[in-house]
Chain A
Amino acid sequence: MRRSLAILLGRLARFATRLRGGGSAFPGYLVRKIWPRFIEDVSAQWSHGVIFVLGSNGKSTTTHMVSELLRAHGLKVFTNPTGANLPQGIASAMLSEVTVSGRLPADVAVLEVDEAFSVDLAQLLRPRTVLMLNCQVDQLYRFYETERVADMMLDASVLASENIVTNREDPLLSQVGSRLGSRSTPRVSYFGASDDVLRASKHGLLGAPDFRDETAESRPVALGEVRSFGGRDATIAVGDESITVELPARGLHYAVDAAAASATASLVLGSTFDSASVIEAFATMRPAYGRGEVIPFGDESVEFVMFKNGPSLQLNLDSLLTPPQQVMFALDEGTPDISWIYDVSFDSLDHVDVVTGEKAWQVALRLEYAGVPVGSVEPDLEKAIELMRRMPSPTEDRKLWFVNYEQMMLARKFLGFPDLETRL
């Protein structure tokens, strides 16, 4: 009775906050006020348990990939929309799918979790599997030091009841075994990319270096490994099987995310893991919101390339085979510190047509010092989009827009593809 009341009130709050516009963590807060073990009790119903996806970069993409792979194998998946990766946000997301009797019909939950809350959430949700993607120099203004972020993820991962899946090529996260000491559970599995693939990449995977540990451990065998990669095609070895898949977007980071997702799915599914279903799932997968997404723009279309830090911008630039014909670059105060932009190599661009966002002049300054000519600087995104609209369609490719998260959301709105992502 009390539980139904909690859900009804939570739902009502959700309805009200959505009328007011936008999502909110308040419904999640309210339901947990009345039903304190809401998250614990509801999550206990899922037969295949909870999977956490952690990392500096690629959480949304990989959460989406794991969900789609499991769905392709017939599982009913509960997942959280991007941005709802804090405790109250996850409760709000659960609230949107739970029945009044407190049932949330799903077999498994795949949840992307903010690094800073990963330990708290692991204690609440008791994940069976924790997937750690990467630890990059990221949001130093928020986390101060990269090692702190790594520790948050590592501390959460050892709370997994069955599996840790971690990045063999990440200097910090690959060290998780040393945290477990002599413990045999959770079991540690790795994903990564073959030596050949890493050698062929322009700048590698750009994980933050580990300055704490002296000894470089030998490379363990990866359960999921990128064996070859080009553009949007990748061959991934999962155990003994070799699977060639079409990636939802261009870039080595997407191939590595696909290896991570495939390895995770194989652990969750065990003997029912089927490579044909994996190939099928990747072939029909849409890119995660704004990440390599193609959106109509008048008679033509634009490709959104979202970046959040130096490594993700570099990996996206490195994925370009030839310099794009028409480029817009949008960056605003949603990314407070952009000093890292001077550590990024812009060799893949031969020009940028329009630079926009509140930080447009800072970006233009960097590009010009990097020898990349800038056509125009227009800090107002809406006006910048009009400048791009007036340019003729590129003859060989699409208009390419590099955007940070906030500018991506705003640009979508101006193009008539509003904010679906915060839908809870």
Chain B
Amino acid sequence: MNDATDENARKAGPSSGGTIRILQLYPDELGVTGDAGNVDVLRIRLERSGHTVAIETHRPGASLGTEPDLVVIGNGPLSALRRVLPDALRHRLTIAEWAQRVPFFAVGAGLELLCARIHDSSGDLDGLGVLGAEAHRGRRRRVGYAIAETDEGTITGFEDQATELTGVQTRFATIVRDVTGPASRPDGVRTSTIIGTLLQGPLLPLNPLLADHLAGAAARHAGITYVPDASLAHYDRLAAHATERMRSHVASVFTTIQ
């Protein structure tokens, strides 16, 4: 993931027929919750299914390159969000234009970055405004496993966040169960191209149906049809066991964390 290979990948970009290009924004700053795992899982699923994948990264100060087939933005602390924000704002128009066509997967602070405004007791920040929603940090903290319903089906993840979103047109998911028991509260944002969530885990290895949805969207943008290879069932069996355990532990753990 050094800059030289990034540069090569970028040059190879649009003219390299058949390559699906996944761009991760700010992996050093927004990547503390295993976000590289989400990217890895997309790469492995696409590669196993016969496609060539290029993982590219964008770091502050670098040029943004050409339009990728999928943008992934991970999670990080507020200090990291502050650190990347000036660079992100410089590329605001390009990112907003991409979001018209390119699928995005944004987690935690990565989702907050796409919002119009980020409210925090230490001061408010302008986000990229790709989404109309606003993020309010420092609300009630939620920690623990969570089960959510989405358009793709039921997903399971780990919540560790204190952000409330307002002005959301379409939510990504409805949390139906968390450490407090049955629930019905919104998570994240969904548009025709963007999936933004406050759920981590990381989410994609645990929820292959969501990973395949995103892999399919990336492939489609590259003009390719993605059909998950049968060998991926090996991972999916492990994921099914893992999430089954998480669901059975959802109410019984982490309730005492201060």
A residues adjacent to B (C-beta < 8 A): 137, 140-142, 144-147, 209, 211-212, 333, 336-337, 339-343, 358-359, 361-362, 364-366, 368-369, 377, 379
Task: In the A-B complex, list the 7 residue pairs whose CB atoms are closest, starting with the nearest.
Answer: A342-B37, A342-B34, A339-B34, A361-B242, A361-B241, A211-B79, A145-B77
| A342/B205 contact (C-beta < 8 A), A336-B253, A361-B245, A369-B235 known | yes
List, in ascending order, chain B residues with CB within 8 A of A343's CB: 31-32, 34, 36-37
- CB of B93 within 8 Å of the partner chain: no
21 A-B pairs in the complex with CB atoms less than 8 angstroms apart? A141-B143, A141-B160, A141-B257, A144-B141, A211-B29, A211-B80, A339-B201, A341-B37, A342-B35, A343-B36, A358-B249, A361-B238, A361-B242, A361-B245, A364-B238, A364-B241, A365-B205, A365-B206, A365-B238, A365-B242, A377-B238
A359 to B241, CA, bound (A): 10
Residue of B nearest to A310 (CB): B34
Closest A residue by C-beta to B29: A211
Other A-B pairs beyond A343-B37, A364-B238, 14, CB < 8 Å: A141-B257, A211-B77, A211-B79, A211-B83, A333-B254, A336-B254, A337-B200, A339-B33, A342-B37, A342-B40, A359-B242, A369-B40, A369-B205, A369-B235
Chain B residue with the shortest CB-CB distance to A342: B37
Known: A141-B160, A209-B28, A211-B29. A369 touches B44 (CB 8 A): yes
B77 nearest in chain A by CB position: A145
Partner of B245, one of A147, A212, A337, A358: A358
Interface residues on B, range: 35 or more
**Distance (Å) between the CB of B8 and the closest chain A CB?**
22
| Inter-subunit contact A336/B206 (CB<8 Å) | no
Smallest Cβ-Cβ distance to B234: which chain A residue: A368
Q: Which residues does chain B contribute within 8 Å of A340, judged by CB atoms?
A: 32-34
Chain A residue nearest to B144 in the complex (CB): A336
The complex places the Cα of A238 from the Cα of B206 at a distance, in Å, of 48
In the bound complex, CA of A340 to CA of B80 (Å): 17
Question: When the two chains form the complex, which single residue of B33, B34, B162 contacts A144, counting CB atoms closer than 8 Å?
Answer: B162
Closest to B81 in A: A211
Q: A141-B254, A142-B258, A365-B205 are in contact. Are A147 and B242 (CB under 8 A)?
A: no
Report yes or no: B238 in contact with A368, Cβ–Cβ below 8 A.
yes
For A374, give the chain B residue with the smallest CB separation: B238
Q: What CA separation (Å) do A63 and B246 show in the bound complex?
A: 36
Chain B residue at minimum C-beta to C-beta distance from A213:
B79
Q: Which residues of A have CB within 8 Å of B254?
A: 141, 333, 336
- Return A343 CB to nearest CB of chain B, in Å: 6
Instruction: Give CA–CA (A140, B44) in the complex, Å.
Output: 28
| Complex interface residues of chain B between 183 and 236 (CB less than 8 A to chain A) | 200-202, 205-206, 234-235
CB-based nearest B residue for A355 = B238
Q: A211-B82, A362-B242, A368-B238 are contacts. A341–B34 as well, Cβ < 8 Å?
A: yes
Which one, A212, A362, A379, contacts B206 given CB within 8 A?
A362
Q: In the complex, which residues 30-55 of chain B have their Cβ closer than 8 Å to any Cβ of chain A?
A: 31-38, 40-41, 44
Residues of A within 8 A of B29 (CB): 209, 211
Complex contacts, A377 vs chain B, CB 8 Å: 238, 241
Q: Does B176 contact A (CB under 8 A)?
A: no
The reply to whether A145 and B34 contact each other, CB–CB distance below 8 Å, is no
Minimum CB–CB distance from B36 to chain A (whole Å) comes to 6
Q: Per a CB cutoff under 8 Å, which of B36, B158, B200, B245 touches A379?
A: B245
Q: A140-B32, A343-B36, A364-B238 are contacts. A145–B200 as well, Cβ < 8 Å? A: no
Report if B165 contacts A (CB, 8 A): no
> Are B78 and A337 in contact (CB-based, < 8 A)?
no
Cα distance A269–B127 when bound, in Å? 54
Contacts of B96 in A (CB 8 A): none
Question: B residues within 8 A CB of A364?
Answer: 238, 241-242
Distance in Å: Cβ of A213 to nearest Cβ of chain B: 10
Among A140, A145, A336, A362, which residue has its beta carbon within 8 angstroms of that of B79?
A: A145
The chain B residue sitting closest to A212, CB to CB, is B79
Q: Which of B154-178 contact A (CB under 8 A)?
A: 158, 160, 162
